[in-house]
Structure 1
Amino acid sequence: MPGGQKGCGEKMNAIQVISLTLLSVLAASAQVIMPGRCPKPAVQENFDTARYLGKWYDIQRLPHTFQKGECCTATYSLKSPGVVGVLNKELLADGTVSSISGSAWAKDPSEPAKLQVSFFEFSPPAPYWVLSTDYDSYSLVYSCTDLGVLHVDFAWIMSRQPTLPEETLEELHSTLSSIGVSVDKLVTTDQDVSYCSAMEQ
């Protein structure tokens, strides 16, 4: 049995080394890493995709590598039956507008608020779960990537307008906190009208 214990110990050490390596790489890229597997939060009941279409302004988000600018917006349109077109735009520090297009769809039609989104043909889709929305003013979106013993959190608070009332933000922060999301890591997107006017040109 000592040999078996040694093998088990070596396996655990290997897992710890891999976990620490992943942790250091992700931390360096400002991702928000949490212990354990992804939570399974409740999502928006009776989600209505048609009412969700249109333009949304990014108000706050957890930091990640693929969104670095300001004035960020997401515009959703009906691409084909059951498929939503996604257009994300942001204003970069050098004054250029960056945009990327993709598609979103519900993997299970019985859970329409649990969307998957893909921006590249050969890359696996990422979860896009609408936790809460009133369709007319705010939306709270959550995504998570499992890494085995760790997971990476992604979250976006969006609005139909460039601003959102403080009391609404506090309610959405409470929802995120209830599933273990570090709301203190949220960053606020600059949506200043004069600064963001370049997005409309």
Structure 2
Amino acid sequence: MGETSNSTLKIAAELWTHLLMSCDRREETRHRVHYRIQTLIEAPLALFPLVDHIVKMLVVVVVVVVCVGVGVGVAGASTLLQVGVCPNVSSIPDLDLRKLEGEWFHILHFPTDDTTFSTCIHSTYTYRVTEGFLEIVTEGHNQDGEGVAKGGVMARLPHSPNGALQLDMDGMPPVSLWVVYTDYRSVACMYSCVQFPGMRAEWAWAITRSGQPLVRRVSRCRGALRHLGVNTAKFRRIPQRSTCHSDTLKGL
């Protein structure tokens, strides 16, 4: 069992490195994640009695986690796997995608190793009536102050009992998310979680209609997530300067 499990994990690590290169060409990211996988391989195998059965799921989930961290930079994504299961989450009743149309500023997110977007992040949502989805264009600055942009769509998942949406952005696998709170006029709070046996990876975003929102409006997002059992202490603020968006447009 020990030798088989160790061999399986090493194969998974090699497969992981190959898959990672398909969604992120940055050498430092490949080295960082390869180190994390090596740490897993070198851990006592007694901790992984089911490893031969779940290792394929591990590779798939980690690919989703890091590709989302690379591609969703639109709002930031946690690239850390955590022990535990995803909470039971639903979107608000009667969510109206059309009312989400317009400009949103990214104020809070769970931190990430990804640096696609660093500051001045904002998105424009356009509702496509015929198709019934939101078209998303997200712009911002990277760590070098250069303007960057990504596009994608957000749509309802058919027959979802809990109002899940599917987010499909450039350079990332599709992920499910939930709008756990919004008043449409000032703030929206979104949450996503990917799960496999015993572990999860989660993302959360607070977006507002203003780049300098009132604290109480953002606090509504924290409250909605706390009610679901999500640790909102992980939230970090995204810098939004008064000159952010004119600068961003010049850089594109």
TM-score band, normalised by shorter chain? 0.7 to 0.9
In the TM superposition, what is the alpha-carbon distance from 1:178 to its structure 2 partner? Answer: 2.4
Deviations 1:4-25 (A, max 9, x none): xxxxx7962637x967xx7xx9
> Which of the two has greater helix per residue?
2
Decide whether aligned partners of structure 1 residues 66 and 104 sit closer, same or farther in structure 2, where only a CA change above 3 A counts. Answer: farther
Match of 2:138 among 88, 96, 117: 88
Answer yes or no: is 1:98 the counterpart of 2:148.
Answer: yes
2:231 partner amino acid: S
1:31 equivalent in structure 2: 79
Decide whether aligned partners of structure 1 residues 180 and 35 sit closer, same or farther in structure 2, where only a CA change above 3 A counts. Answer: farther
Deviations 1:117-143 (A, max 9, x none): 11248x641112111101110000001
1:90 partner amino acid: G
Cα distance in 1 between the residues matched to 2:124 and 2:234 = 25
1:182 equivalent in structure 2: 231
Cα distance in 2 between the residues matched to 1:160 and 1:57 = 6
**Share of identical aligned residues, percent?**
21
Question: How do residues 1-201 of structure 1 correspond to structure 2 at under 5 angstroms?
Answer: 12=49, 14=51, 31-64=79-112, 65=114, 67-79=116-128, 80-108=130-158, 113-120=163-170, 124-201=173-250
Q: Matched residue of 2:85: which SS?
A: coil
Q: TM-score, normalised by structure 1?
A: 0.78
More RCO (CA 8 Å, sep 6+): 1
Decide whether aligned partners of structure 1 residues 37 and 170 sit closer, same or farther in structure 2, where only a CA change above 3 A counts. Answer: same
1:100 partner amino acid: K
In the TM superposition, what is the alpha-carbon distance from 1:161 to its structure 2 partner? Answer: 0.4
1:35 partner amino acid: V
Cα distance in 1 between the residues matched to 2:83 and 2:48 = 19
Decide whether aligned partners of structure 1 residues 118 and 57 sit closer, same or farther in structure 2, where only a CA change above 3 A counts. Answer: same
Cα distance in 2 between the residues matched to 1:62 and 1:172 = 13
Cα distance in 2 between the residues matched to 1:13 and 1:114 = 30
Cα distance in 2 between the residues matched to 1:77 and 1:137 = 17
How many pairs are equivalent? 187
Instruction: Verify the 8 A CA contact 1:91 1:196 in the aligned structure 2.
Output: no
> Which of the two has greater strand per residue?
1
Structure 1 portions without partners, runs of 5+: 4-8
Instruction: Verify the 8 A CA contact 1:57 1:74 in the aligned structure 2.
Output: yes
RMSD: 3.1
In the TM superposition, what is the alpha-carbon distance from 1:51 to its structure 2 partner? Answer: 0.9
2:69 equivalent in structure 1: none
Q: Matched residue of 1:177: which SS?
A: helix
2:176 partner amino acid: P
Q: Matched residue of 1:81: which SS?
A: coil
Deviations 1:68-93 (A, max 9, x none): 41111121112442122111111112
